Structure 1
Amino acid sequence: MGDAEGFFERVDAGRFLATEYTRGPWDPGAQHAGPPAALLGRAVEDRPDARAGMRIARITYEILRPVPIGALEVATRVLRSGRGTEVVEASLTPGGGAAPVMVARALRIRVAEEAVPAVVPGPQVPPPGEAGAVPFFPVPWETGYHTAMEARFTQGAFVELGPGTCWMRMRVPLVAGEEIRPLDRVLVAADSGNGISSVLDYARFVFLNGDLTVHLHRHPVGEWACVESRTAVDAAGIGLVDARLHDEKGPIGRAAQSLFVAPR
């Protein structure tokens, strides 16, 4: 573990400093997409004009270019506001007037005032207590996302090809000195589906996602988030990661990533 106290340090209401815990596995100067995805999700929920009684049901991220480790600015705006739904856009921009590096669009749906019957889709995966802790695949630097997250597999492993089911838990807060929220835990883990269910040797191929979409039918609870992931790749070099998301109470939604695949 490094010396930082979170994935990000807050400078003020809309500015943050990314720490070494955000570092991804491919470039020492670039972030794993999970932490900035969670930061934008939090920005959607925390904006001053956020309507009470609404919840994120879907959030789609466009990863426009590698997210640098350094100073970042977060901005939000409402694109549509209706009686039962609203669409909010959040962007992440490096300092100095640069173009955004990641943009998210979130659909928030009004929570029903009267309870409706809950329907739980599909079986629950084995709990994290039945899974063993495993290391991430080899990373050429000591500190990064791979050390800030705890991972336990009930199926597969980072170093095995094929489908995988992995419970993940944050070892540090999203923002230093601030409480970890259940939504943070899910969004910081959801972008890992690609690595959890990789079907090609990472030493011979690159398989990078340019987007991430997360659907949530239930608000997550607890410390652990589970990504039950499958990957398909076409000979044209286009792939798709399809993942079911769980917490310790059961399924909570799905995540999908589009992949660019090519030989190294």
Structure 2
Amino acid sequence: MTDSTDPIPHYFVSTAEGFDPTGLSRNPWFADAVAGGPVSALFGHMIEQAGFEPGFEICRVTIDILGVVPRALLVPRLVPVRQGRQAQLHRIELFADAKIVAQAHVLLARQIDTPAFDPPQPHPAAEDVPEDNFLIGASMAGAIRTRPIMGRVREPGRGVAWMCMNGEVVAGVPASPFVKACLFADFGNGVGSATHAHEWSYANLDISVQFFRMPRGEWFLLDCHTEGAGNGHAVAQSVFADADGVYAKGTQTIFVGPGQPR
């Protein structure tokens, strides 16, 4: 495990074999594990580096957390699943000590000109909202800044906030808007939690994001809420926007149980 000493905060260090997590990647639920946000962001980095066929656009990313992701060397493997003319599907597997701990499926569709059906984005622009402390324990050593509109992390109810990330997911590699969007895709269960953190935990089991288009700019809006039937699991639902409007919608399957993050 590597300790981060670089002046730019980062979650991972790239090695010849894979990616070594830093202390900033720590999972709030398990002491020696990697949190879902850094895992999701790492998949975003690997998707960008995969070199998929030109002319195709990412329209869906799904991530399955297959257990506790340890803070140990993480080794990726890319597996082509479908190579069609109109759609392609790839799987990226992440291994720790030769055991698969997470996987992502990336669905791509051929880019063509079609009518646009833009979803509404009724919230104020980022520059019209003052900065404030919205996150608790997930600010990436101050690299993640927030402009909250509604709610607060670890308090029940809908949450809406603009977020900006000025750190790096992989040391030495500037994080693109897409990689940052993958990081924030994990935040829905915290931004829009339905329970008090001191009473119930709400760890996510997966992440699914449907992209209308690729995100742009520096500030990203999250509008999130969680719904469930009181049977041990729930669904966190998120709308993601940038300065130009909504770029994606997403869900997370949430495991609800007694306890609180450490």
TM-score when normalising by structure 2: 0.89
> Shift of the alpha carbon at 1:144?
6.9
Equivalents in 1 of 2:123, 2:164: separation in Å? 16
- Corresponding position: 1:125 with 2:123: yes
Give the whole-Å Cα distance in 2 for the aligned partners of 1:136 and 1:146. 11
1:151-162 alignment runs, 5 A limit: 151-162=146-157
Question: Residue type of the partner of 2:25?
Answer: T
Aligned to 2:20: 17
Q: Which amino acid aligns with 1:7?
A: Y
- What's the CA shift for 1:76? 0.7
Tell me the equivalent position of 1:89: 91
> Does the 8 Å CA contact 1:151/1:166 hold for their aligned counterparts?
yes
Q: Using the alignment, how far apart are the partners of 2:174 and 2:45 within structure 1?
A: 12
Deviation at 1:154, TM superposition (A): 1.1
Distance 1:40 1:166, change over 3 A: same
Distance 2:156 2:244 in 1: 28
CA distances 1:123-147 after superposition (whole Å, capped 9, x unpaired): 342222233321423x4xxx87464
Note if 1:262 corresponds to 2:257.
yes
C-alpha deviations, 1:101-123, integer Å up to 9, x for none?
A: 111111011111xx333331113
Q: Residues 12-49 of structure 1: CA distance to partner in whole angstroms, max 9, x if unpaired? A: 3x61111122123223322221122122133233225x
The CA RMSD measured in Å over matched residues stands at 1.9
Q: CA deviation at 1:242?
A: 0.8
| Alignment match, 2:194 | 199
**Which one of 196, 211, 217 corresponds to residue 216 of structure 1?**
211
Q: How far apart are the structure 2 equivalents of 1:144 and 1:155?
A: 18
Distance 1:75 1:227 in 2: 30
Instruction: Report deviation, 1:225.
Output: 1.8
SS across alignment from 1:174: strand
Give the percent of matched residue pairs that are identical in Structure 1 and Structure 2: 27
1:70-219 equivalent positions in 2, closer than 5 A: 70-94=72-96, 96-97=97-98, 99-112=99-112, 115-131=113-129, 132-137=131-136, 139=137, 145=140, 147-219=142-214
Structure 1 residues 62 and 148, CA gap change in structure 2 (3 angstroms) = same
Residue 60 of structure 2, aligned match among 43, 58, 61? 58
| Distance change >3 Å, CA 152–CA 26, structure 1 → 2 | farther
- Name the aligned partner's letter for residue 14 of structure 2: R
Alpha-carbon distance in structure 2 between the residues aligned to 1:87 and 1:203: 40
- Could you tell me which runs of 5 or more consecutive residues in structure 2 were left unpaired when the two chains were aligned: none
Is the CA contact (8 Å cut-off) linking 1:85 and 1:107 kept in structure 2?
A: yes
| Unmatched tracts of structure 1, length 5 or more | none
SS in structure 1 at match of 2:182: helix
The CA deviation string for residues 163-209 of structure 1, in whole angstroms up to 9 with x for no partner, is 00122221211111112211111000111100001121111111111
Corresponding residue of 1:33: 36
Choose from 6, 9, 12 the match for 1:8: 12
Aligned residue-pair number? 253
More off after superposition, 84-93 vs 33-42: 33-42
**Partner deviation per Cα, 1:211-256 (whole Å, 9 max, x = no partner):** 1101101111011222110111222122111111111110011110
Instruction: Return structure 1 stretches of 4+ with deviation > 6 angstroms.
Output: none
Given that 2:80 and 2:89 are in contact with CA atoms closer than 8 Å, whether structure 1 keeps it comes out as yes
CA distance in structure 2 between the aligned counterparts of 1:39 and 1:146, rounded to whole angstroms: 18
Q: Aligned letter for 1:15?
A: G
With over 3 angstroms needed to count, the CA separation of the structure-2 counterparts of 1:171 and 1:51, relative to structure 1, is same
Q: Aligned equivalents of 2:252 and 2:53: distance in 1?
A: 29
For the Cα contact (< 8 Å) 2:203–2:256, is it kept in 1? yes
Quote the Cα distance in structure 2 between the aligned partners of 1:121 and 1:245: 11
1:22 touches 1:144 (CA, 8 Å); kept in 2?
A: no
